[in-house]
Structure 1
Amino acid sequence: MVDPRDQKPGDINAETVEAIGAADYEAVKGKDKAALLLKEAGHSVIVTPADNSRILRSIDLHILPIILVIYCLQSLDKTALSYASVFGIIQDTHLVGLEYSWTGAIVYVAQLIWQPLIALALVKLPLGKFIGVMVLCWGITLCGMVGSKNFGGLMASRFVLGSFEASVAPTFIALVQMWYRRNEQTNRNAAWYSMLGIVNIFGSLLSWGLAHIDSHTLRPWQIIFLFCGCLTAAFSVIVLIFLPDSPMQARFLKGDDKLIAIERLRMNQMGVSSGVWRWDHVWECLTDVKTWIWFCLLTAVSIPSGGITTYGPLIVKSFGFSSFKTLLFNMPFGAVQLVVTLGAAFGATRFKSKSLMLALLCIPPIIGLSLMLSIPRTKNNRGILLFGYYITSVYPAISPLIYSWSGQNTGGDTKRKVTTAVLFIGASAGNIIGPNLFKPSDAPYYHRGLSADLALFVVIIVLVGLGVIWVRILNQKHAAERVRLGKAAKVVDLSMEDKKALEKHDEAVNDTHQTGGVGEKGFDDLTDLKNEDFIYVY
């Protein structure tokens, strides 16, 4: 007989049922895979604060670096087009009118189209292997873009590139939800998203260096594409070897460490991975008001993001700088992104309020866009124009906070993945619209694009307020339901507590009975609306 502990968690057969007992199997059937692994273990584990810290350090060491590098490469590959615009790709491929804008937008058309299938893949497929294959495919595609000679060739290759890249950010959100407690997720989401800043710092410098390579056969923008593509394809090998599919299959977790890694997630009320596609979760996602609040938020911030990402170097060039100086002056833009993205996440975690931080982050872009719209493009005004451009670069810190706000308020494996897909449809739509609000003939002021972006940051503040109101209403409904079931109306949300607070609640963390049964449904694959123990955060 095969030892069921040698099987992959979730691989159910007659031997597994026999090993854990038919009655126990029925108790975990249809629930999260974590529930099965805990039942197979045959014993419980106590997650002490020391164990929690040790496991968290191990996860950060083995999972986070891979995620960071992948997103850094994706950001580099995505922004390679904007760097190429400075080095003649528009002229070499004979782009006219809005054609350059559409070469930026087509990536997001592909991402929008593929999101429903991505959601299904994230539920059914092993995440580590899935993202590894996607990284390999988009690296190869970027290398192939070197051969693009005209608008049609660029559009085709960029569409394929977007198809493979469509999986990256949704997979990262799923991985963060799978490995981290809710209070740990905001900083980890911000960490991988902050790679945009790293790319804007070193990507500009890298492109500046690559463009100086003296080649008789390749244009500078072709060298940029080829280098980025080869680097991405090479790193995919590391992803395939070292990124585990789930905590249940992580080779770096030995003995009871797997059980501890899972048990410490119980109070998330979100589960780990079910492997089962549930249509009732899909329906609840599509009828949940907060899904559409976050959809609107992502769309609203992605319109300026798409426009400024695609046209950023051209906006700076319109201030009166040469091509090489434009790239160098784009580096502080990335530094601001990096610092603010990480700082905003730290602040939101420290003060347990993503909504307040989201509203505050809209103020600098409003000021920066107003300056760029109103200040004449003269040599004497370059300093104030660059200042306006740099403080506008605060906006990338908004997206990871929305992802975290959504992820921390959504329970049920399928519902989480479908909600993420809906959000990325909004993000893709925004990134399609954004570049098309700009066109080269609008230089140097780009009034239409910058004015639309300014209005959208005001809209974001309003949407954040609506989200807070709705989340509070849902918390009141769950509190009333807990009272009806004989539980405490007000409970401590241990998944949102820091290390010191967890030490004070040590017994409650390790004994769900001490918290009135809160946590006992943590691995039942229930949606947030169906689980009265679920506590919403704002």
Structure 2
Amino acid sequence: MQEKTDTDATTGSKDHLTQITSVTSTTPSSTTTKPPLSKEGDLDSSTALASLPTTSNNSSSDDDDGGGDEALAFLTNHPRRREIFAEARAMLEDDATRAALVRKIDWNIAPLLCCVYFLQFLDKNTISYTSVMGMRQDTHMKGQQYNDISMLFYASYLVFEFPTQYLAQRLNRVSLYMGINIMLWGTVLACHAAATSFGALAVLRTLLGVFEACVPPLLVLIVAMWYRKEEQGRRISWFYVCNSVTKIFGGLVAYGISYVQGALATWRIFFLAIGLATVATGWAVAVWMPDSPVQARRFRDAEKVAVLLRIRDNQSGTQNKHLKKDQVREAFTDVRVWLICLSMMLIAIPNGGIANFNNILLTTFGYTPRQALLLDAPVGLLSGIFILTLGHLSDKLNDRSTISILCLLPTIAAGFLMFFLVDPQTGHPLSKPLLLLASLLSGSYNASFMVLLAWSASNIGGHSKKVTVNALALVCLSLGSMLGTQTFRASQKPIYQAGKLSIVVCLLADCVVLCVLRWCNARLNRRNEKVRRELGVVEGGVQERREVERVAWSDLGDRQNVFFRYTK
């Protein structure tokens, strides 16, 4: 099966190269004498761009007219094409204007996405804070019911992952779709304040999962369409570090609210305040965040071209609202996709336990509920340091797998400490300082999840394939998180030995999976290099530069594109 796939991809690439070479041969010879590609982008083949086809050569008959992505139409059909290409060239050749363009991208994308990720993580984990603020008692929870409402969030998250991704693709309005979902889940979260029973909370947690399901995969799509591969790890770390900031903010706010005296219970105030803040953020995203480089209203046309040329070498394109069945099939038959999904699940199982039970675990280590809320702040701070540092290193070293494994090791050590430093008979903590250290280290796995998102953004080509892979990965994340909530059994309180052991076993297994995934990506890079040599394409030569530019916006799956380079 693997050999057949490789052969098909090679054959298709040869046909595609032959076809586009015949078009290139009509390009004026003067285009071959211009300077080589610069690091940020080259406009020397803008003449060749003028003859780009409006649809991909490999589009299947059931894909309608969805060959190339929206960037292809913009680059080839713009009435002032030569003028804006010339202006974009000047921007990219000058260090100051190129840096200004990157800053403009960052300021238009990063602040809003940081807010979204901050609230998305805070909102789903409000249940952890309120669990020690009296919510369980006021809603009359018994036995495994707390575990069950934690699980219901991930269950609905899982079920709606595919529908929400394909709906977002079809609408082709990423920011508007995300903004509406954020406002809806903020409303649902605020309604938690009115819950008086387990049944009401169960319904609300289910709806919360439905509306939050769109965020992580859309984040990956947005980063892939705006940033170069070597910039993606650091940018995703900016967004994902907000999970850690959430723990600092959420813990301190919950600690402060716990002292409020009034007719309304403190946990109800917490839900209401966070829910209303989320609604306001959703409105800002729908109004202000650009949907894609082509649809960015605050960017001039020349700036849009410059943005597109910067990300051309990613070979992953921007957006295409047509669902390509061949790319969906490619996603389901690519072994790397299933390795990514398995890695997501293995990280998610500990996450489902740690995220929902960290505050409860701190109370079993000998800390009061208020102290547990306060101690969430240093846990988040240390996790944030891991995320920012290792996200930067993954870009600088161009190595996602090694960095991801390094992120898992502190949490593995924390799992061992929590397992062995509690008396198995009485649950009495044997070393309170070391158990606190274990709690502080337990959040490092979050950085591995962040690196895995960047790895997926860098190594998947084709919009329909990216959407499918993102949905599959988030389904596995949800499934793992559901399982994780059930590893901490009420019958094992206060020891929770099964939950602690699952942290160690799952993350050790994930280290093995990441090594295999690295090997697969290296193997595909060697295969593509071999195919390019067989086609007579010289690495770094004029022909390769032309072909790279030509197929960049054809919306090809990565396995169909021999110019795609995988990140290790």
What TM-score does the superposition give when structure 1 sets the normalisation length? 0.89
Contact 2:232 2:395 in 1 (8 A): no
- The Cα offsets for residues 178-213 of structure 1, whole Å up to 9 and x where unpaired, read as 111111111111111111110111110111122222
Q: 1:39 to 1:321 in 2, by over 3 A?
A: same
> Residue 30 of structure 2 corresponds to which residue in structure 1?
none
Contact 2:71–2:317 at 8 Å: present in 1 too? yes
1:242-391 → structure 2 map (5 Å cutoff): 242-376=288-422, 381-391=431-441
Shift of 1:518: 2.8
Q: 1:446 to 1:487 in 2, by over 3 A?
A: same
1:352-410 deviation line (CA, Å, top 9, x unaligned): 11111112222211211111111136577211110011112211101111111112111
Going from structure 1 to structure 2, the CA distance change for 1:514 and 1:287 (only over 3 Å counts) comes to closer
Relative distance call for 1:225 and 1:26 in structure 2 (3 A) is closer
- Which residue number in structure 1 is paired with residue 101 of structure 2? 55
Moved more, 40-49 or 156-165: 40-49
CA distance in 2, matches of 1:196, 1:353: 23
Matched residue, 1:421: 471
Counterparts in 2 of 1:338 and 1:26: CA distance versus 1, 3 Å: closer
> Is contact 2:421–2:429 with CA below 8 Å preserved after alignment?
no
**1:369–1:388 Cα contact (<8 Å) kept:** yes
Q: Secondary structure at the match of 1:63?
A: helix
Structure-2 change in CA distance of 1:484 and 1:23 (3 Å): closer
Q: State which of 232, 235, 238 in structure 2 corresponds to 1:185.
A: 232
Which amino acid is 1:280 matched to?
A: D
Separation of aligned partners in 2, 1:255 and 1:89:
53
Identify unmatched segments of 5+ residues in structure 1.
Answer: 1-19, 492-507
> Equivalent residue of 2:431, what SS?
helix
Q: Pick one of 65, 76, 79 that aligns with 1:39.
A: 76
Task: Provide, for residues 108-132 of structure 1, a one-character-per-residue CA deviation record: whole Å limited to 9, x for no partner.
Answer: 1111101111221232220010011
Deviation digits for residues 216-260 of structure 1 (CA, Å, limit 9, x no counterpart): 1x2111111111101111222211211111111212212411111
Name the amino acid aligned to 1:396.
Answer: N
Q: Does 1:157 align with 2:207?
A: no
Give the equivalent residue in structure 2 for 1:498.
Answer: none
Pair 1:172 & 2:219 matched: yes
User: Match of 1:182, as an amino acid?
Assistant: K
1:117 corresponds to 2:163: yes
2:179 aligns with one of 108, 128, 132: 132
Aligned to 2:150: 104
Q: CA deviation at 1:88?
A: 1.4
How far, CA to CA, are the matches of 2:369 and 2:56 in structure 1? 65
The 3-state SS of whatever aligns with 1:444 is: coil
Q: Secondary structure in 2 aligned to 1:394?
A: helix
8 Å Cα contact 2:155/2:206 also seen in 1: yes
Residue of structure 1 in register with 2:524 after alignment: 474
CA contact (8 A) 2:537 2:544 kept: no
- The one-letter code of the counterpart of 1:479 is E
Q: Does 1:83 align with 2:129?
A: yes
Instruction: Tell which deviates more after alignment, 377-386 or 405-414.
Output: 377-386
Structure 1 residue 439: Cα displacement? 2.5
- Hey, what's the Cα distance between the residues in 1 that align with 2:223 and 2:286? 18
The aligned residue for residue 530 of structure 1 is 560
Could you say if the C-alpha distance between residues 310 and 455 of structure 1 is closer, same or farther in structure 2, counting changes exceeding 3 Å?
Answer: same
CA drift at 1:21: 10
Cα distance in 1, alignment partners of residues 460 and 357 from structure 2: 35
1:504 aligns with: none
Q: CA deviation at 1:145?
A: 1.3
Task: Name the CA distance, whole Å, in 1 between partners of 2:293 and 2:52.
Answer: 25
User: Under a length normalisation based on structure 2, what TM-score does the superposition of the two structures give?
Assistant: 0.85
Which is worse superposed, 373-382 or 454-463? 373-382
CA distance in 2, matches of 1:339, 1:361: 11
Of residues 199-208 and 50-59 in structure 1, the stretch that sits farther from structure 2 once superposed is 50-59
Unaligned runs of 5+ in 2: 1-48, 58-64
CA distance in 2, matches of 1:360, 1:253: 39
CA offset digits 1:116-173 (Å, max 9, x no partner): 1122123222001001101100011111111212111111010001100001111111
Between the aligned partners of 2:273 and 2:165, the Cα distance in structure 1 is 31
Corresponding residue number in structure 1 for 2:241: 194
Q: Give the counterpart letter for 2:256 in structure 1.
A: G
Q: Distance in 2 between matches of 1:475 and 1:21?
A: 30
How many Å separate the matches in 1 of 2:419 and 2:51? 69
Aligned-pair CA distance for 1:22: 11
Q: Name the residue aligned to 1:10.
A: none
How much identity, in percent, do the aligned residues show? 28
Distance 1:162 1:49 in 2: 46
**1:142 paired residue among 176, 189, 194:** 189
State the Cα distance separating 1:513 from its structure 2 match: 4.5
Distance 1:77 1:23, change over 3 A: closer
Q: CA shift at 1:351, angstroms?
A: 1.1
Quick check: 90-99 or 225-234, which moved more? 90-99
CA–CA separation in structure 2 for the residues paired with 1:441 and 1:49: 65
Summarize the Cα distance change of 1:535–1:151 in structure 2 as closer, same or farther, 3 Å threshold.
Answer: same
1:409–1:537 Cα contact (<8 Å) kept: yes
Provide the C-alpha distance between the structure 1 equivalents of 2:126 and 2:52, rounded to a whole number of angstroms: 57
Name the amino acid aligned to 1:157: L
Helix, strand or coil at the partner of 1:518: helix
Amino acid of the structure 1 residue aligned with 2:77: E
Kindly provide the CA deviation profile for residues 456-476 of structure 1, in whole angstroms up to 9, marking residues without a partner as x: 111011001111111111111
**2:459 is the alignment partner of 1:459:** no
